Amino acid sequence: MEHEFDAKVRLVSVDYGDEKVPRSEKSKRIREKIGPLTDIRYSISHTDKYSVAAISRDPEVGVDIEHKNKLSGRKDAMDILFPKDCKIRDEVRWCLHEAIGKMEGDGLHTYYPIVSTEECEDETLLAGYKKGDTICEAKVKVRESDKYMLVWGYKNKQERRKT
């Protein structure tokens, strides 16, 4: 499966079906699928059945895929790591924060408070978040099935503004 997003970011995935694949092998397989990693920005995520990669030539990208059962089991950790800083459904909150963290190069190691969200057409969400005293904006796709939550997108450099 491959999808483009605003012609800036491409999403590539691998479906492992029922095959039991070690985490390191998942990363290896998705890197093989996206090809040489020269002159591109990328972010990788995997869960039990899928590996996904967001790739781009210019903007910083982030992706997270999670099994919804694991998200519901992380509610306490989610509330500690990501206080309810705006009106985001719990299922989306973890993935959105992780995707933004990856865009910033930190993953879950740094908390970037989400200060605004705006739903757009075609499953797109604009999320304003604080990085120091600057408000940054991420443009992301939010896709979900009955079992999985997927958030992927890019940092919108043109929308930076001081608080």
pLDDT digits (tens, 9 = 90+) for 122-154: 889 999 999 988 999 999 999 999 999 999 999
Q: Would you say residue 159 has pLDDT above 60?
A: no
Structural contact between residues 74 and 51, judged by C-beta atoms closer than 8 angstroms: no
CA–CA gap between residue 90 and residue 150 (Å, rounded): 13
Structure tokens at 63: 């992706």
Maximum average pLDDT range among 54-63, 103-112, 113-122:
54-63
Q: What's this model's pTM, rounded to 2 decimal places?
A: 0.87
Q: What residue segments make up the domains of the chain, in order of their start?
A: 2-162
